[in-house]
Amino acid sequence: MKTYTFPYGHGTKSFSLDESRLIREVEMPSVAPLTDVKQAVLDAIYHPIGQEPIDKIIKPGDTITFICNDPTRVANSFDFMPVLVNEMNRLGVPDENMQIVFSLGTHRLMTKEEMAEGVGDEVASRLRMYNSDCNVPGDFEYFGTTSRFTPVLINKHICHSDHVILTGTIVHHYFSGYGGGRKAVLPGCAAMETVRHNHSFMMDPHAGLGRTTGNPVYEDQMEGVALWAKGRSVILFNAILDAEHRFLRMFAGDYVKAHQEACRFVDQVYGVEIPRQADITIASCGGYPKDINVYQMQKTMDNAVLATRQGGVVILLAECEEGSGSKVLEDTCRTLGSADAIEAKLRERFVIGANKAYAITRLTRKAHFILVTGLDRQLAKDMLFDGAVDTVEEALALAGSYVGDNPEYILMPTGSLTVPLLKSE
């Protein structure tokens, strides 16, 4: 027997397994983290991809809007934002000419304290900061309609600066292909109807993790952002983190070309080969904030199910200190009660929140999901999970009723990041 310790919320959970039954522990390939964050930031913006160096773009007296992540996505903005802001000062841009917009998409509003925590107290005390609230129509400007009929409504706060700098990190995304890049704008700073219409394409079979070409969600986002970006100075600054939230690489430059190159790096460091699928996959989201709620936990579900055979079990460590993260998600599951009914209803009328109910419950067609969680037990049952327990040992006992004795395991201590890839693929 060997003891393993996985991240869980702000702490950990430990459990023991027969090591001889282990197929693979899915971990990121070893890549040395950056040791000088400040220098790495400067190197990225002065040696950008597909764009001139930052000092050739930014002129004294220019105005700049930074787009930053909300708390549900680990970005370590507090590390790189002071470097970026101070460098803009050095190039002749005073603090009063800069502002930050937090790309919330359809997530809840951030408090001032959360904003300061996100970008660091120093930057927060110097720059104006705004939430992009998708539910305030007057905050959005119209830039046309995509060929897929998505109305492009973008937050006014990112529409009137000389330069917009898209910041954040990149991981695989279960239907948009990849995070980062254009997602800071759409869905990040888009109106509810824009997000709703764009995300409706997640039900297309060509929408999926790591896919860009032919992915209608990704292509629609790119087209919508291009309508907004026309004639505008848009600069990308995206980072890639490891499981310990350390910087591995930073990418800056043209928001399309730099993002494409960054995504190739993401495939190298997050994709992990497995020889075969397991009877039981034990996965952690990676702790807070990846397991802050069910809404965020779902991304780990998509990765973990790739490691699990048809009819197998995923044991998922996710504290969910903020519950489900969406009342619409809860109500949809309670009202409709099955994966088939949820899918049918969503095809009739696509609703944000209800789409997450579909994203979660569709996976139960392949595997049984048992949560090690603080989530309300009845709520877990309503969302069609096969169990919600306090310990991995309890989850393993319950899993035995589905897969029998002597199961084989795959372990995923950082399940929100790592993507299991079958050798045959």
Question: Any idea which architecture 37-241 has in CATH?
Answer: 3-Layer(aba) Sandwich (3.40)
Mean pLDDT of 346-366: 93
C-alpha torsion sign, points 52, 55, 58, 59? negative
Residue 423: band (very low, low, confident or very high) from pLDDT cuts 50, 70, 90: confident
Residue 33 has pLDDT above 70, yes or no: yes
Q: What is the pLDDT of residue 72?
A: 79
Look up the pTM and report it.
0.89
Measure Cα distances from 333 to 278, 338, 339, 351, 359 in Å. 28, 7, 9, 13, 11
Residue 90 backbone dihedrals phi, psi, to 5 degrees: -65, -30
414 residue type, one letter: T
The fraction of the chain above a pLDDT of 90, given in percent, is: 93
pLDDT tens, position by position, 1-26: 999 999 999 999 999 999 999 999 99
Class of domain 2-29+272-422: alpha beta
Q: How far is CA 101 from CA 214, 325, 329, 362, 418, in A?
A: 30, 22, 26, 34, 29
The number of helix segments (H) and strand segments (E) in the chain equals 14, 20
Judging by DSSP bridges, how do beta strands 11-17 and 247-253 pair with one another?
unpaired
Sign (positive or negative) of CA dihedral 116, 119, 122, 124:
negative
Contacting residues for 117 by C-beta, under 8 A, at least 6 apart: 71, 78
What does the alpha-carbon distance between residue 139 and residue 101 come to, in Å, rounded to a whole number? 12
Q: Mean pLDDT over residues 371-376, rounded? A: 97
pLDDT at 424: 66
Task: Please indicate whether the domains covering 2-29+272-422 and 37-241 agree at the CATH topology level.
Answer: no
Residues forming beta bridges with residue 236, ordered by sequence position? 166, 253
Contact 389, 377 (CB under 8 A): no
Structure tokens at 287: 């702790």
Of 6, 81, 83, 8, nearest in space to 38 by CA: 83
φ/ψ of 203, rounded to 5, equals: -85, -5
Whether residue 337 is predicted with pLDDT greater than 80 in this model: the reply is: yes
The predicted model gives 402-412 an average pLDDT of: 96
Q: Which helix (H) or strand (E) holds 236?
A: strand 233-241
Give, for 264, the enclosing helix (H) or strand (E): helix 257-270
φ/ψ region of 180 (left if φ > 0, alpha if ψ in -120 to 50, else beta) reads: left
CA 27/CA 424 separation, integer angstroms = 19
Q: Which pair of tokens denotes residue 136? A: 């305030």
How many CB atoms are closer than 10 A to CB 133? 16
Indicate whether 425 pLDDT > 80. no
Ranges of each domain in the chain = 2-29+272-422, 37-241
| Rounded-to-integer distance, Cα 360 and Cα 53, Å | 43
Question: Is the previous residue joined to 407 through a cis bond, with omega within 30 degrees of 0?
Answer: no
pLDDT of residue 248: 97
- Reference 242, options 272, 263, 270; nearest CA is 270
Residues 6+ apart with CB under 8 A from 61: 92, 93, 97
What's the mean pLDDT in 107-112? Answer: 94
Q: Exposed (0-12), middle (13-18) or buried (19+): which is 84, by Cβ within 10 Å?
A: buried
Query: In this structure, are residues 369 and 285 in contact, taking their beta carbons and an 8 Å threshold?
Result: no
Tokens of 386: 């096969």
How big is the chain by its Cα radius of gyration, in Å? Answer: 21
* Digit-coded pLDDT (tens) for 200-258: 999 999 999 999 999 999 999 999 999 999 999 999 999 999 988 999 999 999 999 99
Euclidean distance between CA atoms 22 and 107, whole angstroms: 38
Q: What is the pLDDT of residues 135-183, one digit of tens each?
A: 999 999 999 999 999 999 999 999 999 999 999 999 999 999 999 999 9
Closest CA to 14 of 284, 409, 410: 284
Q: Mean pLDDT of all residues in the chain?
A: 96
Q: Is 181 exposed, middle or buried (0-12, 13-18, 19+ CB in 10 A)?
A: buried
**DSSP annotation string for 1-59:** -EEEEEEETTEEEEEEE-GGGEEEE------PPPS-HHHHHHHHHHS-BSS--HHHH--
Residue 155, H or E segment: strand 151-155
